Structure 1
Amino acid sequence: PWGVEQLSVAERHYKALMAGIDQFGGNNDKAPVLIAYELGVKEHGQKFMRQRFEASARRLLLNIFRVGLFENPYLDVEESRATVGNPLHMKEGYDAQVKSIILLKNSDQQLPILGRKKVYVPKMYSAAMKDWGGNYAQARLEYPVNIDLLRKYADVTDNPSEADLAIVFVQSPISAEGGYSARDRRNGGNGYVPISLQYGTYTASDARAESIAAGDPIIDPSIKNRSYKNKMVTAANVMDLQTILDTKDMMMGKPILVSVTANKPMVFAEFEKEVSGIILNFGVSTQAVLDVMFGKYEPSGLLPVQMPANMATVEKQAEDVPFDMEVYVDQAGHAYDFGYGLNWSGVIKDKRVGEFVRK
């Protein structure tokens, strides 16, 4: 809060409103806005502050009206019924989800799961954390998927010794701090920390000593270098990895399948050798994942990005050069490169691969 360090959060909101600001980005808490309103009532009166808020409302809504979003507020009920929940549209959307799912590993043809099997699904621990919007989520231990939905496909047990196989549902490694740590800054660092693509503790020994970007001339002029070299981070969801490894021990040699929901590339070296199958999605429904795993659909997705062998290759890649990472190679010798994916018969080699994958 440069220049208003002495003001409270609500007072900063009030100052912004009095300067003519209409909208607060990245703020999901209405409390300081309401307090700012009361501060204005105290200084200028209720009529003035109501007019001030209505002026913001008018300016914000006018931009919406100008692009025609609310030109006609009336709906044709029959047209709405024909559009919302249209079966054809829903099918096309669901088909797109299914087609995006990527089968990375399938040792001994463990997938698809055929017949009515007894499945063990471990609960997942999620650490307490704040998201980018500052919203706080409490620590919790819970099933990662709707168990009632899973029971439509298989019998579910909490006892690994009774199970025919295990399915572990995880997310790709989460960097809760998003590359900047206020704690690091308070402790004398520059604030910048690695964004790791692995679960376990990562030391950025291969990072640049001098960052490409300069420091923070406005926010913090004392910072001239954003390098995070030699700093250590651990993924907020490191327990996802531990759960995979613990499940491996508890299943006593029985198949373990891992379903990964990812939002970026990740390092599979931490667990690939410990499991029988890996299926990857980038944010589809659980039903779509289960429909593929249990054989209703055959996987056809291809990797849209390279999956790195390790964090060293991530640090050493050039930001403006494509396909320059060392990719992960699994037990079967399959390289997790752009355009790679399996179907039930093996590595996909269709028209898409011939057209888009580099030779």
Structure 2
Amino acid sequence: MASDRIESLIARMTVEEKVGQLGVFADMVRPFAPDVNPEANVRNAEQVLEQVRAGRVGSLFNGVGVEAGRRIQQVAVEQSRLGIPVILAADVIHGMRTVFPIPLGEAASFEPELARRTARATAVEATAAGIHWTYAPAVDIARDQRWGRGAEGAGEDVVLGCAFAAARVRGFQGEDLRADDALLATPKHFAAYGAVAGGMEYAQVDISPQTLRDVHLPPFKAAFDAGALAVMSAFNDINGVPASANHALLTGILRQEWGFPGVVVSDYTADMELVAHGYAADERDATAKAFLAGLDLSMQSGFYAEHLPALVESGQVPMALLDESVRRMLQLKEAIGLFDDPYRSLDPLREADGSPVAAHDALSREAARRSIVLLKNDRGLLPLRTRGQKIALIGPFGPDRDNIEGCWTLFGDKTRYVPLDSGLRAQLEDPASLEVVAGCALEAPLPGGIEQAVAAALRTDVVVLALGEPQQYSGEAQSRVEITLPPAQQALAEAVAMTGKPLVVLLRNGRALALQGAVRDAQAIAVSWYLGTQTGHAVADVLFGRYNPSARLPVSFPQVSGQQPFYYNHPRTGRPELPSMSEFKARWREIPNAPLYAFGHGLSYTTFAYGSPQLSAPQLEWNGQLRITTRVTNTGSVAGEEVVQLYVHDRVASRVRPVRELKAFTKIALAPGQSQSVTFHLDRQQLAFTGVDGQFRAESGLFDVWVCASSVSGEAVTFELLAPP
């Protein structure tokens, strides 16, 4: 039930004022890049303020700054007829002034609590800068690494995705939505955006209802269960119906089935794009179809302001339905305390206090090093020594400051970014023992670059090759055909490898990559993603052994690009990869039907041994719980952390089941020689799936279970789920 205050407002509002609350527009009063066109900005700011004064704007987005934010709110509260405050939003994805690792990289930590902490720090910084609401987290499951927006999510697995979705929501919003540092979260993009055909941005999604429900919807439900009160619709269609006008999705599942009480906001001009889809005939038709489907808020298109009043007057859109959307928007504002304190998160003293931002450097460094995945370390090349060893840092990312953030960082403080060369030198006893050579540009050769790189390699004991994707290669509208390194970087790697010097490849990337040639064959390989503010220090911590890497892959690294889409939890086939069948089986002619590096894979500077899983019983009662315990031992000579993973496989079911599915994970820390018993619990709900009839349920029968170090390791034990009594 809405409060008396909200019901009183709705009763007094004109249709135009109601529609105004459903409009989300760019914040031209305080644009984040104000120096681009100052004259135009002044003109645009006055136009926006006039719309606020007239009650035609419910929310502004992607602006920053307290002083101008107070001006916006003053106009809304003191000069508009009804005094309804404006809610100020922004794309604050993985950091504000302090930039943390891209979400995909942070998911590699397998530590949802780390994501909660970085989201909390982000909320503190964003609300200090006059922002109430973020369009994050992205919770899309990405099974095709050609799709650029996989960088914004948590990878290819549902259980991992759900854990990080919930953690980020809790971090952004904190414990009290009315607190000055609470930042409203918006899981996106609803839904199945990560399933676009061919990994092509904005493309179609042709998907079974069962896969939609079992793979792509659960992270959203986890985010809502964690308290999210807003959700953003996706650009794509689902089986021919655009998500932003999909009644079955926005009303049937979201409202009627899940009871979601919050608002649905379109992605940027998504309602406008219904015309381009060929789903709507014109602007009026697009407005009607989007709104009647359940899209509460229209972002930037202006379609609602232009056409909703006439649609209501004609009866095509019922007034009661308009009131419901307005009610939800006003309730959102009430939930964060804007009616009682319109100037919350608009405190000049808090904005001027830089101490919280400075304090976040330590968290940025911790998150970054916990996100680095060690893929390969032949003959123990890593860690490197901080003295008595000459090191060549070769590659375009060595001194680079422009490709540290990763996608979707609008407000990062670039003056604080630590590049690789600075981070490495800071930990070397003799900084002169590090020689830095670019060798090539990000996408093109440099005159004499390879010759200089080879000469540097020959003068040193070990080479660190800093290679990867330019930052612009991942994120929105950055689909790729070949998920490989740029040719100029690959050529550099091949030339340096010819020197015979030990090679450490340090990858900077926003997706899984298909590694080739000298890069693939390097003695050591580490994935560093885009790590944010403390990049150089965090990488140096790992390279020199100050931190023992503990991250694991949240996505499968393929052998070649042509394997995409590729994901570990694919269904079994009737012709599986079995030794007894040499040719007529599910395979590619050129390569094995296997990843280069599997989901869950990652090395440490120590080693771990797993005992056989012990079950509390050979059978799981229908309403019971099965306990699975495995003893894990650090068999190496240094302390380390291990991500212990639990997978299951349903042997026989009414729908073909995945070869393995992650069901639980935990990270443990062990001293050399130390052992620890790790216990997981399984119940029937964790074994359930959506059947051919659309019902979500488990089926009795035999299951394999692994407790292991990755999606391709470990020995299975078997249990039986008993039929209901």
Larger relative contact order, structure 1 or 2 (CA cutoff 8 Å, min sep 6): 1
The TM-score normalised by the length of structure 2 is 0.28
TM-score (norm 1): 0.50
